[in-house]
């Protein structure tokens, strides 16, 4: 960036952090935790107290309720924040269970608001790389106040951390004069992103194909090797822990089943589909006592059976997924308040047409940021293979839309 841009970008970063803190600490207070938030906090508490990466009570017995296999990076991140912010000394593996303290939740939201500021900076950097300093300022301003990016850090979700890792990986891939360490760092960030949200796995073959297409074979190897080295310890741990190959986490099975089932509606998870939730309970009742890792093959088997035996119904389901990927009217939106739905849908639809114009402008100018759009393509592909949902869209697709809209603003003349 040239000398005139950083002041505007840093001002936008400061505004973005302030907006996220105001929402998280001033408005989103004493709200009930979602199922995912409770699971992440339970895992984080066990890691922080030395019980390991497991859904366990202090006496070593399994925590009640249904739990999914999770990727490790975000719970470990939360464990670090928990260890630093909770009152009193560490509980230890034999301590009684305790609810999450308000200080821990505040700490998580403060740290994630800071990560939200990093997202603003990355969006500005990517826009500058694609369309110059004017685009950087516009992208930073948009990202600072874009409602979905403002409220996401208030939730105990992996989306904000994942956005930093995924966009950081893309930024390294777009460095103007990269060196060997740049490609290794990009691969390492890609590996950490996979260990945060396994959806990042779909980006790796796309970026390796792009590097191969441009005959950068050495760079392809460096990215792939660095990513594999980051993933290998956790995969080996899974093999030892579960007795079968689990690359990252077993949540892929139930997610694939949720999006490819006769009762699937094309958008949203189990919370948005009561019939499918009851079908999940029935499937689990058929296999009592199995862990999420042991159940994963049964989920995949049922979903693939539906695709093989009813290709017409699956094709119609796929068309609904395409529709809900573009149009923010799926059933999961209606789980939230009208204010949330309105702010989310309006902000997304307001940016979308300008983003499409920006993509066309970038193509005309020959500065299309290929790695960034490959990341967006991977995110969209995940939605079609599994199911689209707003939470899956926000950390990657929405920043790409903001970069593209800012590029239109900068290149429109």
Name the stretches of the chain with pLDDT < 70.
1-6, 88-99, 413
Q: Is residue 277 part of a domain?
A: no
Q: What is the pLDDT of residue 92?
A: 54
Whole-structure pTM value:
0.94
**For 289, phi and psi rounded to 5 degrees?**
85, -5
Q: What is the pLDDT of residue 337?
A: 81
Q: What is the pLDDT of residue 365?
A: 93
Q: Is residue 89 part of a domain?
A: yes
> How many independent structural domains does the chain possess?
1
Q: Is residue 95 part of a domain?
A: yes
Q: What is the pLDDT of residue 370?
A: 97
Burial class from Cβ neighbours inside 10 Å (0-12, 13-18, 19+) for residue 60 reads exposed
DSSP-assigned states of every residue in 225-280: HHHHHHHHHHHHHHHHHHSS--SS-THHHHHHHHHSSTT--SS--GGG-HHHHHHH
Contacts 24+ apart (CB under 8 A), 338-344: 340/151, 343/147, 344/147, 344/148, 344/390
Q: Is residue 173 part of a domain?
A: yes
> What is the C-alpha separation between 200 and 395, in angstroms, rounded?
11
The answer to whether 220 and 208 are in contact (CB under 8 A) is yes
> What is the C-alpha separation between 257 and 276, in angstroms, rounded?
10
Q: Which residues contact 25 (CB under 8 A, 6 or more apart)?
A: 106, 109, 110
User: How many CA atoms lie within 13 Å of 241's alpha carbon, on the beta-carbon side?
Assistant: 18
> What is the C-alpha separation between 385 and 61, in angstroms, rounded?
35
The answer to whether 303 and 257 are in contact (CB under 8 A) is yes
The span from the first CA to the last CA of the chain, in angstroms, equals: 21
Q: Is residue 307 part of a domain?
A: no
Q: What is the pLDDT of residue 357?
A: 97
3-class DSSP state of 56: strand
Q: Is residue 275 part of a domain?
A: no
Q: Is residue 314 part of a domain?
A: no
Q: What is the pLDDT of residue 91?
A: 55
Domain holding 391, by residue range, is 5-248+321-411
- Take residue 397 and report the two structure tokens written for it: 């697709």
Q: Running DSSP on this structure, what letter comes out for residue 327?
A: S
Q: What is the pLDDT of residue 291?
A: 82
Q: Running DSSP on this structure, what letter comes out for residue 68?
A: -
Q: Is residue 113 part of a domain?
A: yes
């Amino acid at each position: 960036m040239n000398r005139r841009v950083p002041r505007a970008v840093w001002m936008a970063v400061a505004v973005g952090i302030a907006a996220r803190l105001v929402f998280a600490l001033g408005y989103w207070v004493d709200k009930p935790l979602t199922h995912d938030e409770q699971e992440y906090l339970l895992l984080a508490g066990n890691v922080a107290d030395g019980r390991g990466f497991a859904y366990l009570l202090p006496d070593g017995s399994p925590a009640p309720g249904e739990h999914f296999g999770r990727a490790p990076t975000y719970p470990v991140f939360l464990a670090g924040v928990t260890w630093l912010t909770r009152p009193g000394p560490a509980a230890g593996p034999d301590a009684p269970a305790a609810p999450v303290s308000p200080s821990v939740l505040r700490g998580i939201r403060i740290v994630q608001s800071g990560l939200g500021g990093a997202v603003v900076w990355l969006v500005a950097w990517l826009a500058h790389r694609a369309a110059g300093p004017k685009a950087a300022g516009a992208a930073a301003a948009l990202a600072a106040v874009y409602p979905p990016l403002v409220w996401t850090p208030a939730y105990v979700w992996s989306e904000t951390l994942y956005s930093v890792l995924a966009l950081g990986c893309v930024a390294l891939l777009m460095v103007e004069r990269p060196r060997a360490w740049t490609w290794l760092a990009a691969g390492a960030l890609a590996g950490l992103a996979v260990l945060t949200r396994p959806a990042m796995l779909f980006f790796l073959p796309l970026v390796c194909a792009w590097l191969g297409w441009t005959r950068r074979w050495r760079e392809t190897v460096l990215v792939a090797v660095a990513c594999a080295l980051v993933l290998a310890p956790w995969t080996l741990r899974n093999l030892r822990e579960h007795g079968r190959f689990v690359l990252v986490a077993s949540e892929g099975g139930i997610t694939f089943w949720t999006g490819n089932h006769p009762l699937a509606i094309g958008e949203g998870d189990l919370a948005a589909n009561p019939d499918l939730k009851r079908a999940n309970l029935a499937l689990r009742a058929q296999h009592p006592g199995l862990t999420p890792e042991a159940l994963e093959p049964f989920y995949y088997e049922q979903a693939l059976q539906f695709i093989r035996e009813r290709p017409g119904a699956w094709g119609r389901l796929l068309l609904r997924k395409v529709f809900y990927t573009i149009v923010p009217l799926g059933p999961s939106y209606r789980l939230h308040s009208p204010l949330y739905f309105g702010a989310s849908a309006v902000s997304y639809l307001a940016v979308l047409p300008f983003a499409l114009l920006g993509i066309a402008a970038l193509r005309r100018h020959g500065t299309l940021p290929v790695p960034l759009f490959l990341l967006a393509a991977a995110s969209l592909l995940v939605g079609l293979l599994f199911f689209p949902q707003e939470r899956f869209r926000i950390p990657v697709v929405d920043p790409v839309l903001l970069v593209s809209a800012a590029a239109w603003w900068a290149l429109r003349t």
